[in-house]
């Protein structure tokens, strides 16, 4: 879905599931491509709370993510696919 972030309001996006298209890193965590998360907010980018890390159990939150780095999942895909477990590292 191209430009999905422009077509949906924050209320429509909140709670929707997304998948990381690429490996991402901020000052605290790294999320591998394919990891699943939930949209928390749309403000100066997308804020995502990622699924728990299989190794440490953390649920990292990343803000200001460019929507081109995320795939918006359909409700059917969300119900049938689980997170690959991804890795969250502290740099």
Quick: pLDDT tens for 44-67. 999 999 999 888 888 999 999 999
Distance, CA of 56 to CA of 43 (rounded, Å): 28
Residues of the chain with pLDDT under 50: 1, 77-86, 88, 90-91
Report pTM: 0.76
Question: What are 37's strand-pairing partners?
Answer: 18, 50
| Interatomic CA distance for residues 54 and 67, integer angstroms | 25
CATH 2.30.30.40 assigned to 4-80: yes
Spatial CA neighbour of 35 closest among 46, 47, 24, 44 = 24
């Amino acid at each position: 879905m191209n430009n999905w972030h422009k077509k949906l309001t924050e209320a429509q996006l909140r709670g929707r599931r997304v998948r990381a298209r690429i490996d991402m890193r901020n000052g605290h965590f790294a999320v591998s491509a394919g990891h699943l998360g939930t949209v928390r907010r749309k403000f100066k980018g997308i804020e995502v709370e990622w699924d728990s890390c299989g190794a440490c159990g953390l649920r990292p939150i990343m803000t200001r993510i460019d929507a081109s780095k995320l795939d918006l999942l359909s409700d059917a895909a969300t119900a049938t696919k689980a997170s690959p477990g991804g890795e969250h590292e502290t740099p």
